[in-house]
Structure 1
Amino acid sequence: TRLEKLGISTVGNLLNHYPHRYDDYTALKSISQLEFGEEATVVGTIWETRTRTTRSGGALITSVIADASGTVEAVWFNQPYLVKQLRAGRRIVLSGKIDEHLGRLRLQSPAWEPLEKELIHTGRLVPVYPLTRGITSRWLRKLIKRVVDHWTPRLQDHLPETVRTRAGLMDLNKAVRQIHFPDNQEAAVEARRRLSFDEFFFIQLGMLHRRQQWQRQAAAPLPRDEGLLSSFLASLPFQLTEAQQRSLEHILGDLARSEPMSRLLQGDVGSGKTVVATAAALMAVAQGKQVALMAPTEILAEQHHRTVLDLLAGMGEGGMQRPVSVELLTGSVPRPERTRVYAALASGEIDIVVGTQALIQRQLTFHDLALVIVDEQHRFGVLQRGTLRSKGSAPHMLVMSATPIPRSLALTLYGDLEISVIDELPPGRQPIVTRWLLPTERERAYGFVLSQVEKGRQAFVLYPLVQESDKIEARAAVEEYERLRQTIFPRLRLGLLHGRMKAREKDGIMARFRAGEIDVLVSTSVIEVGIDVPNATVMLIEGADRFGLAQLHQFRGRVGRGAHQSYCLLLSDLASPDDPNTR
C-alpha cells in the first residue's frame, strides 16, 4: 500500500511517524488586519462559492469569506468537489499565506475546516508529515489524529515516574500527543525532548545488552610478552607519546583477560593509532594466533599494509622464532593470489591479514583468529563487523576512529565499547592552519599553493564531483584538472585521481605522488582516508559546503603528517563564512 512506502504498516508506525516541521497558523486575525505575504488564520462565514474553467481547462473555485471587519476571497485550483462543501452561510476557519490578485488581498489554496470541529488543519501549529505519491497532507493528518486520540491514552510509559521527574520529562502519552498536535511551541519542544531521550535510552540499552552478551563468551587470553613488546618498541625510530602508551596499556590489559575485548581507540589523524594496534597484534601472533585488520577502502588497506610491514621491518625476528607474515587482501588482488592467501589463512601460515570487505567473504576461513581490528569503524555496518568477528571463536575486537567524538556521545553510541583516546600528536607535528576563503579569494589560494610547491612541498586540490552535472552546481575534478593544468599551474606537474579510475591507475598516481613526481594532486573524496604523504602541506577543498564535518576533518588529516607547517583552505561558491548554516 501507499502507507507502506512510508514505512507504515501498524498503529505503532503511525504513532511514530513524526512531523518534520509545523506550519504556524496560530496568528488569528480579523480580515481587515490581513497583510500581504504573512501566514494567517481567519474565521468567517461563506457568502458565496463559485467555479469557473481556466484557459488551461482546469477548475478555479472562489469563495468570498466575511467577518465583522470585511471580506476576503479564497481560491483553490482543480478541486471542484469544494463547491458542495463550501456552502453559503457555513462558518469555517482558513489558514494560509496572504496573496494578492489585481490589487486585492486573497488566500490562495488555504487549508480550511468547519469551525464547529476541533481544529486539525488550521488555527494552530499544524503538523507537516513526510508524504509519498497518492497521500495528501490533509488525509494523513486526519488519520494520525484519529489514531493519536484513540491510542495515546492506552500507551504504557516505560520510564518510571522517578526517572521522569528527575529528568523533567513529559509522560509518554502526552509527549506523543504533543509531538503530533502541539498546543504551542514550548509543548512541541518538550515532546521532542522526551522522545529524543527515549531514542538515546533504547540505543544505550541495546549497546549494554550487546556488551553483556559478548562478555559472557570465553576468549583466548593473549598475555603480555614483555620481551617481544620491548623489542618492537626499541626498533621504532620514535618513542610512543604518553597517550599512545596509556592506550596501549588499556589494550594489553584487555587482551590478557579471558573475556573478549571490545575497545574503541579514538585519535586524530596522524596521532599514531596504527602503531598501537600493531603492538597489540604482536601479542596475538606471539601466542600463535591470527589477526585481521579491516579498512573501508583499498587505498587505506594498502597504506595499513605498508605501515605494518615498515613497523615490523626494524624488529627483524625480535624474539620471534620466525618473521611475522603479513598479507594484503582486497577486491583488486588477482584470483590466483587470492586463492593462495585463502589457503594460507586457513592453514595458519599468515599471522596478520590486512584488507577491505574482502575479509568477510563467505569462503574465507581462518586457522585461529584471535584479534579483529577495524579502522574507520563508522564506515562499516554492525553486520559487517559482526561477520568478521564470527570468523573466530570470540576474538578480541579493537575498533579505531579518527573522527572526533564528544565523550558523552561516544558513551551512548559505543556503549558496548571501552574507550581509549590518543589526545596528543607525535613530537614535531604542528597544528594544521585552517581557513575559510570567499570565492573572490580563489586566485589568492592558487597563489599560496604555488608558493608552497616552490618551497618543495606538495598539495591536494579536492572537488566534490568527478564530472560536471546539470543537477548539481559544483566544480568537478576532471574539468577543473584540465583548467588548472593549462591556465593556473602550467609549470607544475599535476595528477588526477578519482573513484572511476581502475585500481591500477589509482595506485600508479598515488605512487608518483608519494615519490614526489606530482606537485599537485587533483582529486575527489576518494582520498578521504588512507593517504599518507608527509611532504604534502596544502589541502584546498572546493565546494566545502557539500561535505560533512567528519569528511572535512578526514580531508584535513591528509596533510600535517610531516614536520612542515600545513594548511587546509576551504572554498565554496555558494556560502560565506558568516552563514550560520555553513558553520
Structure 2
Amino acid sequence: MKNSASEKKTGAVGLSSSVSSLKGVGAKKEEALASVGIRTVQDLLLWFPRKYLDRNLTENILLKQGESVTLILEILDSYLAHGRKTRLVVTAKTKNNEPVSLVFFKGVQYFRRVFHTGLLVAATGRLEYFRGFQLVHPDYEILSYGGNSELNTDDLPESIHVGRIIPLYPTTEALREEHLDSRGLRRLVFYSLETLKGKIPEILPKEVVSLRTFLDRESAFREIHFPSEEANLSKARTRFKYEELYYFNLLIEYKRSRRAKVPRILWPLPESQSAKEVVSKLPFQLTGDQTESLSKIGEWTRSDTPAAILLQGDVGSGKTLVALLTALRYTDNQVQVCMVAPTEILARQHYQTVLRFLGNMPFLGIELLVGKEPKKIRAEKLYRLKKAESYFVIGTHSLFQEDVEFKDLGLVVIDEQHKFGVEQRETLRAKGKNPDILAMTATPIPRTLCLTLYGDLELVTLKHKPAGRKPIQTRWFTDSRRNGVYNSIRKYVLQGRQCYIVYPLVEESEKSDLKSCIEAYETLQKDVFPEFSVGLLHGRLDAAEKDRVMNSFQKNEIQILVSTTVIEVGVDVPNASVMVIEHSDRFGISQLHQLRGRVGRGSHESFCILLSDSQVSEEAKVRIQALVDSEDGFLLSEIDLKLRGPGELLGVRQSGLPDFRIADLREDKDWIEISRDDAKKFGSIGDMEKNEISHRFAEGALLFSN
C-alpha cells in the first residue's frame, strides 16, 4: 500500500490507496473505518448504500395537504404540547418563510435534544394539516448546525445530501463517533469519487461489458452512490451484482484448476466385485437415479485428477447405499475410505447399515471411530488404520484429530457436509494423497445455491425413493385435537408399528425446551401410554445411554420414542410409521421435512402429524402448509429459500456461503447462471490473480468447500 501522507500531498490517490490518503481521514477515522473492513479507497466505494431516499426538493410550489415532500427547513423553536398524548412540536420555516412543524409522539426527549434553534435540516414526509402544515415523524438529515436566515440551497456545500436521490449507508457506533453517519460517509464517498475521476479502470472483459450492455465501472460507482435517476441506479446495481458473481465464479474455476494440479498416484481403479455382490443380494432393485449416479461417479473417479462430487438426495432416496457401492471400489483395491457424520447417532447408523448391506461377505476391515472410547480400543483402531489393516472407517469429529493417520486414504465421504467447517474438511483431505471427495446432503438445495455454494463440485442428484415406499400423509392439527392424535398413535402401535414424538430444542431456550421435553416424556409414559414402552432420547444423554435407547427402539422394545431433533438426520427404523412434531411452528421447512423423513422408510402406510397452537404467525402457517401440500424436498427448499434466505437456510458459518455485498441468491437467479457461463467463456484465472477485485468476501470463500 502506498504511503498515505505522500499521496495526500501529490494527489496520487488510487483504488488501492489507504483511506487515510483521503482528505479529512486521520488516525481515528481510519481506525473506525477499519473496524467495518474499510481499509482502502476501493473498500470505501464498495460500502454500498443500504437504501435510498428520494429527496428531490419540493420548493417554489404551493404546499398541499397529503403530498409527500422534501423540504429544507430552518429550526426556530420546540415545545411540548399536551393532549391525549404528549408530543414534541418543532417549529420551522422553509426557504420561502412558510411555517412547517415537525411533530414527534415517540422519543420526545431525544428529539428535543436533537432539534435546536438555528439547525438546518432536510425533512421528508407526508404533509398533514393541524393548525398549520406539519410532518409527523419525518425522515430527516441534518445539513448545518449554524443559523442562516437567508436560506439558499444553491450555496450549500452539502448539496449532495438534498435535492436528489440520496444514499443511506450502513453505519456503526464506532463510525458515528467519528461523524461517519450517513451524512459523513456521503461526503467521504463523494470526495473519493471526485479525487478518482478518470482513474477507475474497467475490470470486466470488454466483451462482457459490451454483450451485457453494462455501465463502465466508474459510471457505475457514481450512479450507485449518487444516482442521477432511478433507471441508472438500477443499472449500477445490476453491474455490481454481476461483477461480484462473475469474479466469484472465476474463484470456483481457480479452485478446480488448483485441485487438478496434484495428480493421484493410485488410479485408475478397476471395478469392484464386492459392489456387484452387494447389488446382487439386495432385496430390491436400485432406482434409476442410483444407477445413473453410480455411473457418473465412476466416470469422474477414473482419471488421475481428484474428483469432488456432491451427492444430493431427498430423504430416503438411498444416498448411503450409493456411497457404500462407491467406497467398495476403493477398499477392494486396498485404498482406504473414511466417512464422517455430524453426530454419533448417525455415524453408528451408517456403520450398522454398511454391515447389514455387506452381510457375511469377507471384508478388509471396517472400523467405527467415535468419541469417548476406551484408550486401548481406540489405540488399536488407530494402529490398524495407520498400517492399512483396516480400509473403511466411519466416525464423527474424532476423525479430525491429529492421531488419526492413514496409509493410503483415497476417498473422503462427508455426510451432511454443510455441518462441517472449512478447516475440518481440509484436515481430512490432508490425511490422504489428494483423495476424492464425496460430499452428501439430505437437505435438498435449490439450483442457484448449488451453483454458488458447490460450483466447483460435480453435482449428482437422487430424487426418487426406492420402489415399495408409500407416500407419507402429512396432517396439521392444533392442540385441541391432541387426544385424537394420541388415539391414532395407540391404534398404530397396537398394530405393531412404532412412533416418534419430537420436541424442538432451540438454542436460545435450550434449558426450558429440554425440561419441557423431559416433562412431556414423563407424562406420556405415566398418564397417556402406560400400556406401552416409551423411551427418551436427547443430546445431553451419554453415548452408552443413546445407544441403549436407539437399539431398543430398533428392536421394537420401545414403541414410542420421545426425542429432540437429535433424530433429525439419518436414523432409519423401517417399522416406525408415525411422526408427531410438537410446536411445529418453531421449526423451519427443511427441518420439518428431515424429521418427516424418519418415517415412511418401510412398506407401511406412514403419517406425519404437525401439532401447533391455534395462534401461529403468518410465516409459520406458510411453512406448515407447505409440508402438508408437498413431499418434494426440492420444491420445499425453494419455498424455504424465499422465506428465510440462503444464510438462514443453511447457516452461513457452517455452509461456507460467501458474504456477498450486493448479489442476492434469491433475486439474482438469472445473473448467477449468466455470470457462470461468461466466466467460463471470457474469463481467465489470470484476471482474478492480477485484479484486486477478488474482494474480501471472495478471499474468505476461496477454500469454503474444499
Q: Offset of 1:452 from its aligned partner? A: 3.4
**Distance of aligned partners of 1:511 and 1:28 in 2 relative to their CA distance in 1, 3 Å threshold:** farther
In structure 1, distance between residues paired with 2:229 and 2:257: 42
Paired AA for residue 72 in structure 1: S
> How far off its partner does 1:111 sit?
1.7
Shift of 1:371: 1.4
Rounded to whole Å, the distance in 2 between the matches of 1:228 and 1:520 is 37
**1:223 partnered with 2:269:** yes
| Aligned residue number for residue 163 of structure 1 | 208
| Deviation, structure 1 residue 411 | 3.4
Deviation at 1:131, TM superposition (A): 3.0
2:350 counterpart residue number: 304
- Report what 2:116 is aligned to: 83
Alignment of 1:394-405 (within 5 A): 394-405=434-445
Compute the displacement of 1:476 (Å): 4.7
CA gap of 1:568–1:238, structure 2 versus 1, over 3 A, is: same
Aligned partner letter, 2:536: L
- Whether the aligned pair in 1 keeps the contact of 2:75 and 2:118 (CA below 8 Å) is no
1-structure distance, mates of 2:369, 2:341: 11
Query: What is the identity, as a one-letter code, of the residue corresponding to 1:385?
Result: R
What code does the residue aligned with 2:347 have?
A
Q: After TM superposition, list the pairs within 5 Å mapping 1:464-503 onto structure 2.
A: 464-465=504-505, 469=509, 476-485=516-525, 489=529, 491-503=531-543
> 1:433-470 deviations in whole A, cap 9, x for unaligned?
33444565555545544443343322223232269949
Aligned in 2, Cα 1:358/1:443: closer, same or farther, shift over 3 Å? same
Amino acid at match of 2:207: T
**Distance in 1, Cα, partners of 2:343 & 2:392:** 18
Does the 8 Å contact 1:20/1:130 carry over to 2? no
SS at match of 1:332: coil
Aligned equivalents of 1:417, 1:484: Cα separation in 2: 47
Distance 1:276 1:120, change over 3 A: same
Matches within 5 A, 1:175-574: 175-182=220-227, 189-219=234-264, 220-225=266-271, 227-314=273-360, 316-317=361-362, 323-437=363-477, 445-465=485-505, 469=509, 476-485=516-525, 489=529, 491-573=531-613, 574=616
1:399-420 Cα offsets, whole Å, 9 max, x none, are 1122223445423332222222
Is contact 2:65-2:129 (8 Å) kept?
Answer: no
Deviations 1:71-100, CA, capped at 9 Å, x for gaps: 3245664464753542xxx6x421358899
Of stretches 171-180 and 424-433 in structure 1, the one that deviates more from structure 2 is 171-180
Partner of 2:71: 43
Q: Distance in 1 between matches of 2:70 and 2:44?
A: 30
Structure 1 pair 261/61, CA: closer, same or farther in 2 (3 Å)? same
Please report how far the alpha carbon of residue 331 of structure 1 lies from its aligned counterpart in structure 2 after TM superposition: 1.8
Letter in 2 for 1:194: R
Q: Distance in 2 between matches of 1:142 and 1:417?
A: 45
> 491-500 vs 174-183, which deviates more?
174-183
SS at match of 1:237: coil
- Aligned partner of 1:11 in structure 2 is 41
- Partner-residue secondary structure (3-state), 1:202: helix
Contact (CA 8 Å) 2:122, 2:162: kept in 1 or not? no
RCO higher in 1 or 2 (8 Å CA, sep ≥ 6)? 2
CA 1:132–1:258 in 2, change beyond 3 Å: closer, same or farther?
A: same
Name the amino acid aligned to 1:575. S
Match of 2:634 in 1: none
Preserved CA contact (<8 Å) 1:436 1:571: yes
1: CA distance between counterparts of 2:525 and 2:62?
A: 64
> Which has the higher mean CA deviation after the structures are superposed, 61-70 or 202-211?
61-70
User: Deviation of residue 428 (structure 1)?
Assistant: 0.6
Structure 2: gaps (5+ residues): 1-30, 83-87, 144-152, 625-638, 640-706
Unaligned regions of 5+ residues in structure 1, if any?
A: 55-59, 318-322
CA drift of 1:302 comes to 1.0
Question: Deviation of residue 278 (structure 1)?
Answer: 1.4
Q: Using a 3 Å threshold, how does the CA distance of structure 1 residues 563 and 196 change in structure 2: closer, same or farther?
A: farther
Question: Are the aligned partners of 1:461 and 1:541 in contact in 2 as well (CA < 8 Å)?
Answer: yes
Q: Once the 2 structures are TM-superposed, how far is the Cα of residue 10 of structure 1 from its aligned partner?
A: 3.7
Q: Secondary structure at the match of 2:470?
A: coil
CA contact 1:263–1:399 (8 Å) conserved in 2: yes
Name the residue aligned to 1:575. 617
Identify if the C-alpha distance between structure 1 residues 34 and 157 changes in structure 2 by more than 3 Å, giving closer, same or farther: farther
CA change 1:179–1:441 in 2 (3 A) is: farther
Instruction: Mark the CA change 1:95 to 1:428 in structure 2 (over 3 Å): closer, same or farther.
Output: same
Distance in 2, matches of 1:293 and 1:274, equals 10
Distance 2:426 2:47 in 1: 30
Which segment is superposed worse, 564-573 or 370-379? 564-573
Distance in structure 2 (CA, Å) of the matches to 1:357 and 1:61: 62
CA distance 1:201–1:455, change in 2 (3 Å): farther
1:204 aligned counterpart, secondary structure: helix
Note if contact 1:371-1:396 (Cα within 8 Å) is conserved in structure 2: yes
- Deviation, 1:477, is 2.5
Displacement of 1:303: 0.9
Cα gap change, 1:257/1:450 in structure 2, threshold over 3 Å: closer, same or farther? same
Measured after TM superposition, the shift of residue 107 of structure 1 is 3.6
**Contact between 1:32 and 1:70, CA under 8 Å: does it hold in 2?**
no
- The structural deviation recorded for 1:424 is 1.9
Choose 107-116 or 358-367, whichever is displaced more: 107-116
Q: Which amino acid aligns with 2:453?
A: L
Aligned residue in 1 for 2:633: none
The whole-number CA distance in structure 1 between the counterparts of 2:427 and 2:46 is 31
Query: Does the Cα contact within 8 Å between 1:438 and 1:576 map onto a contact in 2?
Result: no
Taking the aligned partners of 2:464 and 2:142, their CA distance within structure 1 comes to 63
Identity of aligned residues (%): 36
CA drift of 1:353 comes to 0.5
Q: 2:585, 2:621 within 8 Å by CA — same for their partners in 1?
A: no
Give the letter for the 1:452 counterpart: Y
Please tell me the residue identity of whatever aligns with 1:139. Answer: L
Equivalent AA in structure 2 for residue 272 of structure 1: G
Opposite residue 211 of structure 2, the aligned amino acid is R
State the alpha-carbon separation in 2 of the partners of residues 552 and 192 from structure 1: 36
Q: What displacement does 1:346 show?
A: 0.9
Per-residue deviation at 1:176?
4.2
RMSD of Structure 2 on Structure 1 (CA)? 4.0
Distance of 2:305 and 2:545 partners within structure 1: 45
SS in 2 for 1:434: strand
SS of aligned partner of 2:176: coil
Q: C-alpha deviations, 1:126-182, integer Å up to 9, x for none?
A: 525253467379833134323432445544332234323434544444444454555
1:111 and 2:140 matched: yes
1:292–1:372: 8 Å Cα contact kept in structure 2? yes
Alignment partners' CA distance in 2, 1:349 and 1:457: 42
Q: 2:123 aligns with which of 94, 117, 128?
A: 94
Deviation (angstroms), 1:576: 4.3
SS in 2 for 1:348: coil
* Higher relative helix content: 2
If the length of structure 2 is used for normalisation, what is the TM-score?
0.70
Which amino acid letter does the alignment assign opposite residue 557 of structure 2?
A: E
Alignment size in residue pairs: 566
